[in-house]
Amino acid sequence: MSQPLTQPYTPKPLTKAQLVSALAEEMGGDKQTATAALDALQALVARTIQAGGALTLPGIGKIACRDRPERMVRNPQTQELTHRPADRAVKVTIAKALKDAVNS
C-alpha cells in the first residue's frame, strides 16, 4: 500500500470580524473605528482601481488595473477556440519587504 498524499497545512484567511478585532487592538482603538478605517481603505482602493489607476500600500504591495487586449482562448475540454473581448484585470504585486519577511 502506498502512503496517502498529505497536503501542507494552509490556515484559513482572517474573516472581516477577525481583521477588525486585530486592527482595533493594533491601533489601540475600538472596533467601530477599525471598521470605519477598513471600509474607507476598501472604498479608496476600489475607486482608484476602477478609474484605471494604481495604489501602493507601503510594506504590502502595489495594486493596479491593467487592460487585456481581445484574444482567442481555447476551451480545455473541447479544444474549441473562442473569441474573448478586451477587458480589465486587477494585478497585485507583492512588496519585497513582505516577501523577505515571509521567507526569513
Mean confidence (pLDDT) of the chain: 90
Q: Enumerate the domain spans of the chain.
A: 15-51, 52-104
Angle, alpha carbons 45-88-78 (nearest 5°): 135
Q: How many Å from the N-terminal Cα to the C-terminal Cα in the chain?
A: 38
The model's pLDDT over 80-94, given as tens digits with 9 standing for 90+, comes to 999 999 999 999 999
Residue 1 has pLDDT above 60, yes or no: no
**What percent of the chain is predicted at pLDDT more than 70?**
92
Please state which CATH class domain 52-104 belongs to.
few secondary structures
Whether pLDDT at 5 is above 90: no
The strand pair at 61-68 and 54-57 is best described as antiparallel
pLDDT level of residue 49 (50, 70, 90 thresholds):
very high
Band of the pLDDT at 11, cuts 50, 70, 90?
A: confident
